[in-house]
Amino acid sequence: MSDILEENVTLVEDISRARTSYPSKEAIYFISPNSDSITALINDFTRPKPMYAKAHVFFTSPLSDTLFDKIKEGQSSRSFIETLKELNIDFMRSYSRTQTITEIEIIARKLISVFSTLGEMPHIRYYDPLGDQSSLGYKLANCLQKELDSLHELDSDFPPKSQFRPPILIILDRSFDLMSPLVHEFTYQAMINDLLVMEDGKYVYQAENNTEETPKDGTPPQMTKALLDESDAIWMLIRHWHFADAVEYVRDSFNKFLNENKAASNILNSDPLSNFERGFDNLNDMKDTITSLPQFQEMKSKVRLDAVAAVEQDLATGETAAGTVPRNIMIDMTPVLIDSVIPAYDKLRILMLYIIAQEGIHDMDRKRLLDASKMSIDDSQAITNLGLFGVRLSLNQEKRKKIIKDKYTYYGRVAERRKKKKKKNDGNLPYDLSRFITMFKYIMEDQLTGTLDTQIFPWLKAPPAEDLSQQTKASNIQKSIKSTNQALQPLPNAGNTYSLRTTRASWATKPKLANLNDGTPVTLNSAQDSENDLRKNGPRIIVFVMGGITFSEIRATYEIIKEYKRDVILGSTSMINSTQFINVLKQIHIKDENRGIGSVDSLLQSTSKLNQDIDSQPKPISSSANALNFLQKDKDDLGKKPFANIFKKKGIILESVKKI
């Protein structure tokens, strides 16, 4: 809203409500192409005295012929409507490289808006683990291709000519990797969204210096909001760092600030209440008081997160921190499952990881584990519903015949890496509790190096031979670039001020490339910055995941861009943390007579409901369906930029609708 007002828009109103007439002023209608908004528009200019002098109408997505004819039927439409345009922006930008939808046809139409805005016609690949074109990926790919063909028929200039190769769109569904939503992630952004309750990118908490008790009238104590978004330079810098590195950086930066600003240091030291503002005379009094608080047990449970995460990492990677195969993972799991302090959701995550990793367990073993961990019926149902994603729950079940190759199984890549492992430590190992690598990153690496399996990820339409040849050349370049990057990595502890150990994440120390390392978005417009446009290194890669993306996959997108110097965009129907994912699993079995259990629409409907519960993403201004969520590189390029010239005219009114 503030961005709109800055452009001298004098008033913003909801078109569905009663409004004051301004017959001497022109108005911008920013509406979606549905019957309700069209009816409201027509009513404005068919009344005895029109609401406004002129109307500039902008639709968020293509207008159907039926609704267009309805507008034309109005006798005053030609004299009243000065502008009528389709903007193709019915998707939402949540982060500078991330965006959120429901149901196959709606998803396809919203993706059309994305590609229309980008001005690109992609070559499409899709995830097809059974090889029989029955996957969600094939259904969406086929539907999207029809929409793209229709758009090209209507507009022969689409896509516009470009010096770059057409992008590659890879369509996945959440079943391609069910471990990522369950594994604890210890990079800053992912950890915050996993452990804290976020609302529209804000964390609401009671400040430490707010000692006020709840007022007698029952009103809640004053709360403080911490905004974590791309307007915060420090957040942009550290959001994908390991939490230990992020904390050390912030602490050292603060100490440096105090050393360089003596006035601030003196104020801090001169405050008599700075160290004892709650009346503590010594640390022992403070300790006794804290341990007496009812919140202490909750805090204590968070301290046990290391025990939970250690088991998770062994389950998700199939090896211990020492690089050996776990001898008896059941023995390692048991202390965590029977610990009454550890939350039920963390236990449930471990049980799910165990069943997924083992490709099913004995029914009696599952019952024993559920009993030992004291799981509720809903928790047990969530495990059962993993079967709707193709997970084998019981050893009594016959294995589904998939064409999945070893390198696309959970343990396949670990085994592959173990074979190639050098005896000499290369100084670039991960933290013990951050060894798991998402399947998404492996898929991206294979696409960029030209080794992505064509059986599991077939082309909907094979690209022209010329494009394939260019992709092969680009893939060879990527291998060379990655080798060079690895060779240029700084030696452990050599000038690395904030490294806690030799295993600090390598992406935090790489040289800058087009502002990507500090998280600053770069332009999508090659005309503005063609020299730094990563598409010169190969076609843009766009990945769309039905069923939600995790924050670890968002981080992996940035890592891939930095490592391979390629343009990668990630989109999905939602952004999820583990709690939201598990909540969907608990409900996904409930039969919907209109959709059916386990159907395409049932799965997408569940993720649609999940979108409504997501606290970590901005709420869409309009609600035609849940907004399509995309990671993109330019705040202005997708969605905001088309309005730059619209609002230059002073004294106009902007009309909007809440329901699309």
Residue 77 has pLDDT above 90, yes or no: no
Could you give the CA distance from residue 67 to residue 74 in angstroms, rounded to a whole number? Answer: 12
Instruction: Give the global pTM.
Output: 0.69
| pLDDT (mean) for 216-226 | 71
> Is the predicted pLDDT of residue 224 greater than 90, yes or no?
no
- What length is written for the chain? 660
Classified as helix, coil or strand, 601 is: helix
Ordered domains of the chain (ranges, CATH): 2-87+645-656 (3.40.50.2060), 94-177+439-483+516-634 (3.40.50.1910), 297-437 (1.25.40.60)
Q: Which two tokens stand for residue 657?
A: 């609708």
Residue 430 is classified by DSSP as P
Q: What is the mean pLDDT of residues 334-344?
A: 91
Cα 643 from Cα 83, distance rounded (Å): 14
In angstroms, the CA 57 to CA 536 distance is 37
Residue 195 pLDDT more than 50?
yes
* Crossing angle between the packed helical segments 600-613 and 578-587, to the nearest 10 degrees: 130
- Asked whether residue 211 carries a pLDDT value surpassing 80, the answer given is no
Instruction: Over range 653-657, report the average pLDDT.
Output: 37
Mean pLDDT, to the nearest integer, of 486-506? 37
The answer, yes or no, to whether residue 446 has pLDDT greater than 90, is: yes
| Dihedrals phi, psi of 521, to nearest 5 degrees | -65, 145
Strands, E assignment, 286-424: none
Gap between the Cα atoms of 535 and 166, Å rounded: 10
CA 432 from centroid of its chain's CA atoms: 25
| 327 HSE (CA, 13 A, CB side) | 2
Q: Quickly state the pLDDT bin for 185 (edges 50, 70, 90).
A: very high
Q: What is the DSSP string of 227-255?
A: E-STT-HHHHHHTTSBHHHHHHHHHHHHH
Q: What pLDDT sits at residue 599? A: 41
Name, in order, each residue with C-beta under 8 angstroms of 102's C-beta and a sequence gap of 6 or more: 573, 604, 605, 607, 608, 611, 625, 626
Q: What angle do CA 46, 51, 52 make, to 5 degrees?
A: 115
Task: Inform me whether the pLDDT recorded for 492 exceeds 60.
Answer: no
Phi then psi dihedrals of residue 91, to 5 deg? -145, 165
* Distance of alpha carbon 167 from alpha carbon 568, whole angstroms: 10
433: its two tokens: 């509790």
Output the pLDDT for position 314: 93
User: pLDDT digit string (tens) for 241-255?
Assistant: 998 899 899 888 888
Contact 578, 181 (CB under 8 A): yes
In whole angstroms, give the CA distance from residue 350 to residue 331: 13
- Answer yes or no: are the C-beta atoms of 531 and 593 closer than 8 Å: no
Q: Report the side by side order of strands in the sheet with 81-86.
A: 11-14, 653-656, 27-31, 55-59, 81-86
pLDDT score at 124: 98
Tokens of 349: 């995550």
Using the predicted structure, report yes or no on whether residue 101 has a pLDDT greater than 60. Answer: no
